[in-house]
Amino acid sequence: MPLDPHPVNSLGFAKPASETRVVVAMSGGVDSSVVAAKLAEDGYDVVGVTLQLYDHGAALAKKGACCAGRDIHDARRVAEEMGFPHYVLDYETIFKDAVIDEFAESYLAGATPVPCIRCNERVKFKDLLETARDLDADCMATGHYIQRKMGENGAELHCAADAARDQSYFLFSTTNEQLEFLRFPLGHLASKSETRELAAKYGLPVADKPDSQDICFVPDGDYASVIEKLHPGAADPGDIVDMAGKVLGQHRGVIHYTVGQRRGLGIGGLEEPLYVVKLDPDTRRVVVGPKKALSTRIVPVREINWLGDVAFASRAEWHLDVKIRSTRPPRAAIVRPISETEAEVELVVPEEGVSPGQACVFYAPEGGRIYGGGWIWRGK
């Protein structure tokens, strides 16, 4: 049998790197910059793309936000340094319609949304991915810390090698079709320090740039001001009540509170600490109760994206680990499908602070494979 004249390259294509075009989603941060620089050094036909997601002029002086004016400038400098083309695409309208508006509406409905997931799902891995195809790219690469591995039935999503940097919670809605086209070159690295060492090695101007911490369109962490700007009057005051409906005090707007919150309630002098257990935007009530009232075992989940090898509803139940907050480790659960996109998740050990609007991400009990997940939509 003759030898294959074109061995598979590091991105999985049976052709030379120079004939493999890869669009790199560049936020201007160190992670995506290292991805672009490494692929360029390896000889790939790299095209850098940065999205303008909101009025970057207004955000220019704000630190800690992605995709602002400073970041666009930094991404362009990296492209110039490494010698590949770079484009800035105006996605401001798409981003507002697909992410910001829903973020505000979810908060107004008493939920705790995760806009970064919607951005990946509806903007970066949808519209930007289609743009990459229009540019005749073979694949699109990002700086996310997650791994794409080939299994018996195609590409699989796996946790990053560095558990402290793993971003699987924010990428559970990646579809199988998208996964075929995506690449995550940093997922195998043991630590963030390796990424910064690579940035220094390539002489990148962002080698020492701090990581972004906040939601990009809320760089100062003041969610309420963003919501009030979109929905004037959203912060109308109301009652803080206990679980029996007794009024304990007044609040300054439901949008200022989240389920599980203890501090800043302004109702001191009680026998035991009280926590926010429910938000009722219709009556403008913040319901508080003891910590035990936050304990939840049954979690309803919908809009499920399933990444398993057989149909989700083909089994009565799945024994998986689930993560219900980005900052919490996966915990054992029984996932019972109601349909292909809806399920009841029973936590083996009840958890506190389960909140509508958060994601519930499914993991294999061993091995780090991600089986997708869905959205928590109401508490019981």
* 272 assigned to some structural domain: yes
Boundary of a domain, candidates 289, 309, 325: 289
Note whether 47 and 191 are same-domain residues. Answer: yes
pLDDT confidence tier of residue 255, bands split at 50, 70 and 90: confident
Note whether 80 and 140 are same-domain residues. Answer: yes
pLDDT tops 50 at residue 111: yes
Position 208 scores a pLDDT of 85
Note whether 251 and 310 are same-domain residues. Answer: no
* 239 assigned to some structural domain: yes
Note whether 120 and 189 are same-domain residues. Answer: yes
* 5 assigned to some structural domain: no
* 313 assigned to some structural domain: yes
* 11 assigned to some structural domain: no
Note whether 50 and 67 are same-domain residues. Answer: yes
Note whether 38 and 147 are same-domain residues. Answer: yes
Residues identified as active-site: 119, 216
Note whether 88 and 141 are same-domain residues. Answer: yes
pLDDT tops 90 at residue 19: yes
Note whether 281 and 331 are same-domain residues. Answer: no
Q: What does the pLDDT look like over 310-352, one tens digit per residue?
A: 999 999 999 999 999 888 899 999 999 999 999 999 999 999 8
Q: What is the CATH number of the domain that holds 266?
A: 2.30.30.280
CA distances from residue 128 to 50, 89, 120, 201, 253 in whole angstroms, order as listed: 10, 9, 10, 29, 36
User: Domain of 300?
Assistant: 296-376
Boundary of a domain, candidates 201, 218, 250: 201
Note whether 165 and 284 are same-domain residues. Answer: no
Note whether 249 and 174 are same-domain residues. Answer: no
Note whether 146 and 258 are same-domain residues. Answer: no
* 10 assigned to some structural domain: no
* 213 assigned to some structural domain: no
pLDDT tops 60 at residue 61: no
Note whether 185 and 50 are same-domain residues. Answer: yes
Position 46 scores a pLDDT of 98
* 229 assigned to some structural domain: no
pTM for the full model? Answer: 0.88
Q: What is the CATH number of the domain that holds 304?
A: 2.40.30.10
Boundary of a domain, candidates 201, 224, 247: 201
Q: What is the CATH number of the domain that holds 33?
A: 3.40.50.620
- What domain count does the chain have? 3
**Long-range pairs, 11-19, Cβ under 8 A, ≥24:** 11/39, 11/44, 11/138, 11/139, 11/141, 11/183, 12/139, 12/150, 12/183, 13/138, 13/139, 16/43, 17/42, 17/43, 17/44, 17/45, 18/43, 18/44, 18/45, 19/45
